[in-house]
Chains A and B, each alone.
Chain A
Amino acid sequence: MSVKELIRFNNFSFRYNSRDDKILEDINLSIKSNEITVLAGPTGCGKSTLLRAIVGLIPNMYEGEYTGDVIVDGIKIRDAEIKEIAKRVGFVFQNPENQIFMFSVERDIAFGLENLGLEQEIIKKRISKIMKTLNITHLAKKAPHELSDGQKQRTALAGVLAMEPKILILDEPTSLLDPKTAMEFMELINKLCKEEGMSIIIVEHRLDLVLKYADKLIVLSEGKVISDDTPENVFDYKKDIIPELSVPFSTKLYRELAKNQMKFTKPVTGVEDMIREVMK
């Protein structure tokens, strides 16, 4: 599968009408297909705004001062019709409860497809395919209140994936899940990314759970991009990191040891890396 650029921010800045200062300033980013990008940063750094700019909620739902461009899969978000954006970008919000509208799982997955005005046969095919991929076929007729947290999360994801987006955005997808369910969810996301060639952006505080799957780590602070690189390079011991960032234990260990003259072949971002490095 060929890799291509799916999202591009060109000197993008934004200020909400309700605020005096810019929430994002001079953002330049490039995000590719077949990649998982993790977006991190302290509260109020502008993460949510960045995501809204990709899905077109900015400027369609939130008004403000918009400069520069956001280009998603070849279209300029600022001038694009919502329909064109909705086909390309899927957004799974933090709380799955608030994105399941219908009374059964299959009806909810159909929601977006019905909105697109697709034919019944196509809707049915897409639903059964996505339910199989996410392993929720047995839940088809279940009502939202009958689902566990993990199942709600998968239903919300299914509703978005059914629209076959090229870009998938997940806003703190694991914050309400227990660690094991969260891990299983991340495995699934990783599979989707590599098999479907999607570009996936994950906003997450719990870096220890997601870093393993990340091809790229973007750190935002006070409206600016302060790191945009592979996790290894971001956490290289020679570089500073902001104290708000929850660095995984193995990485913290590596940074401390490397600063004290211990030799590593490359920066450590996970447990396996650490074990390999020490065993050598």
Chain B
Amino acid sequence: MIKFDNVRYNHPDGTNALDNISLDIPEESITAIVGNNGAGKTTLVKHINGLLKPSTGTVSIKNEDTRNSSVAELSRNVGMVFQNANHQLFADTVKNEILFGLNNFGFNEEFIRERYEFVIELFKLRKYEDISPLKLSGGEKKRVCLASVLAWNPEILILDEPTVGQDELQKTVLLKFINQLHSNKKTVIVISHDIEFLWRLQPNIVTMSDGKIIEIGNSESIFKNQELMEQVGIIPPQIIKIFEGLKIKDEIPLSFEESCKVIKNLRN
């Protein structure tokens, strides 16, 4: 669905930000991009909705070269929620904030009304409809941002550091929400440092360092690779460390419940 073919990107000042990126993100998958700060994660995802165009190589969405479309055209299919909610909230009410994208893309009234009702319920924002999004707490602001992008029902959703500043309850809601999108056949891409969160999500993982893709694999294989973790500036989740410490390397349980069982058996 999303295809990077030998993509190189240089900043306007000439420094290299992405180096020889080839990547295939399949439809209806959940993909996480991890790596140290400055590895090029955000630069990479900005190529998907055309905010950046490759210096050499091609990026294509559904076999369509992104060079041939504007950001607005691409964004109908690719929704992107940035890390800092304050970088996007501007409208006088939550309602107008959510309607912003829907109006920009020029959908018909019926579609707009239907989608608006859908997201306002989904994100439990009904009681805030008529107040300024700036008066909300951090977690609520984030929900407005998500709602404002989800509103036009893009097939691909990109989330940049969605868990920063979120408490445990909010993280659990986010986790459910991503899984729900996945079962609705959406393609989700997450940039995150929050390894414990990623372990619960169990996405495919793309590791990056220094503008290059280092390795791609499922959560277990990536997080078990000590050397790789070191290279991309990540610490493995506690579950891996515990079971490696207990010398159970081959069959690390995936869920919390399984972990409990395995430890109980070990004790007996």
Contacts and interface: CB of A to CB of B under 8 A. Distances in A.
A208 B263 CA distance: 20
B191 to A, nearest CB: 11
A253 B167 contact: no
A118 interface: no
Nearest to B257: A256
Given A206-B194, A253-B260, A275-B245, 10 more contacts: A42-B169, A43-B165, A148-B38, A175-B165, A179-B193, A205-B166, A243-B169, A246-B168, A253-B259, A262-B264
Chain B interface bracket (under 10, 10 to 19, 20 to 34, 35 or more)? 35 or more
B196 A208 contact: yes
B267 to A, nearest CB: 6
Nearest to B137: A43
A244 B235 contact: no
Given A148-B38, A208-B196, A257-B260, A278 B234 contact: no
Contacts of B241: 271
A178 B36 contact: yes
Given A177-B37, A244-B167, A249-B196, A43 B235 contact: no
30 contacts: A42-B169, A43-B137, A43-B138, A43-B139, A148-B37, A176-B37, A177-B193, A178-B233, A178-B234, A179-B195, A180-B36, A180-B233, A181-B37, A183-B235, A205-B165, A205-B166, A205-B167, A244-B167, A244-B168, A244-B169, A246-B168, A246-B171, A248-B238, A249-B256, A252-B256, A262-B267, A271-B241, A275-B245, A278-B246, A278-B267
Contacts of A181: 36-37, 233
A163 B139 CA distance: 35
B216 interface: no
Given A179-B234, A253-B242, A247 B263 contact: no
Interface string B31-61: 0000111100000000000000000000000
A256 B167 CA distance: 20
B252 interface: no
A181 to B, nearest CB: 7
A180 B260 CA distance: 28
A122 interface: no
Contacts of B36: 178, 180-181
B40 to A, nearest CB: 13
Given A180-B234, A208-B238, A257 B263 contact: yes
- Most A CB atoms within 10 A — which of B138, B194, B246, B263? B263
Nearest to B260: A256
SS class, residues of chain B in contact with chain A: helix
Contacts of A116: none
B238 A278 contact: no
Contacts of A178: 35-37, 193, 233-234
A61 interface: no
B174 interface: no
A179 B229 CA distance: 10
B214 to A, nearest CB: 14
B168 A247 contact: yes
Contacts of B138: 43
B164 interface: yes
A250 interface: yes
B57 to A, nearest CB: 26
A179 B35 CA distance: 9
B47 to A, nearest CB: 21
